[in-house]
């Protein structure tokens, strides 16, 4: 089986507070997604990378010129949620000849500090697995369950963090397993809202994805301060 990457890049990124999609915000002289894609292009095990854009995207070509000349594919099939964007991207991969047994590594456009070695560690850990798996980090902070009151928020309880991991990407599953899992999860609006990564859809159909230790730097640019943090990690002084 071959390995392909699928990068959902069709979000609006409101939490980042930069007045536009965060994947196009500059970090160290290049758009966030340009860093992400150049990391993936340095992984020799990947046959090609498909980027899923919003149908109304006007910025990708300007920020990542010439992407389609080097093992790069683009599809303007982004959906209303990340999971819909990924499912539409899987359909596009099928049309381009990717088979049910081939592996698809889904990676967030907004995780721009991914290193090729992280991807290779995931592939090495999962390529002989029945199910597949994901990069993740054990939780370092103590977890609080919050409740709102008149003045703001209060702690309702502390959640036991032992055995809890924070899911990252890439998440690596066979096309023929991930596609039906997402189709089923998205068919019911109530469960669809809980599908915030690929592994959650795989778990819903009864499988246990493998957890592979990731790296702290592989965080998802989400909040306003994350751009300068990413910049310092890319260009340490």
**Site residues for ligand C5P per CB under 6 A:** 8-11, 13, 23, 52, 78-82, 85, 108-110, 220, 222
Least CB distance to ligand C5P at residue 6 (A): 10
Which pair of structure tokens corresponds to residue 72? Answer: 């790069």
- Least Å distance, CB 162 to ligand C5P, is 26
- The residue number with the shortest CB distance to ligand C5P is 11
Query: Can you read off the two tokens belonging to residue 91?
Result: 């359909």
Between 56 and 162, name the residue whose CB sits nearer to ligand C5P: 56
**Shortest distance in whole angstroms from residue 54 CB to ligand C5P:** 7
Q: For ligand C5P, give the closer residue by CB, 156 or 175.
A: 175
- Helix or strand run (H / E) with residue 137: strand 132-138
When the beta carbons of 101 and 216 are compared against ligand C5P, the nearer one is 216
Nearer to ligand C5P, 41 or 129 (CB): 41
60-69: long-range pairs with CB below 8 Å, 24+: 60/9, 60/24, 60/33, 63/24, 63/30, 63/31, 63/33, 63/34, 64/31, 64/33, 64/34, 64/37, 67/37
């Amino acid at each position: 089986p071959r390995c392909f990457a699928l990068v959902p890049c069709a979000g609006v990124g409101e939490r980042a507070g930069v007045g536009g999609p965060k994947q196009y915000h500059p970090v160290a002289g290049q758009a966030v997604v340009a860093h992400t894609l150049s990391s993936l292009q340095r992984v020799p095990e990947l046959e090609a990378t498909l980027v899923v854009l919003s149908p109304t995207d006007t910025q990708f070509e300007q920020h990542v010129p010439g992407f389609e000349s080097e093992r790069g594919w683009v599809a303007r099939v982004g959906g209303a949620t990340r999971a819909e964007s990924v499912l539409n991207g899987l359909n596009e991969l099928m049309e381009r000849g990717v088979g049910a047994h081939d592996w698809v590594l889904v990676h967030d456009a907004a995780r721009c500090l991914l290193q090729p070695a992280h991807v290779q560690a995931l592939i090495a850990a999962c390529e002989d697995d029945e199910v597949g798996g994901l990069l993740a980090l054990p939780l370092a902070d103590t977890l609080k369950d919050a409740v709102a009151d008149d003045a703001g928020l209060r702690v309702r309880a502390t959640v036991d963090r032992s055995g809890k991991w924070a899911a990252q990407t890439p998440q690596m599953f066979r096309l023929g397993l991930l596609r039906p899992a997402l189709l089923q999860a998205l068919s019911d609006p109530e469960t669809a809202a809980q599908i915030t990564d690929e592994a959650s859809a795989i778990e819903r159909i009864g499988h246990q994805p493998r957890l592979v230790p990731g790296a702290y730097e592989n965080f998802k640019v989400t909040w306003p301060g994350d751009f300068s943090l990413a910049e310092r990690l890319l260009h340490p002084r």
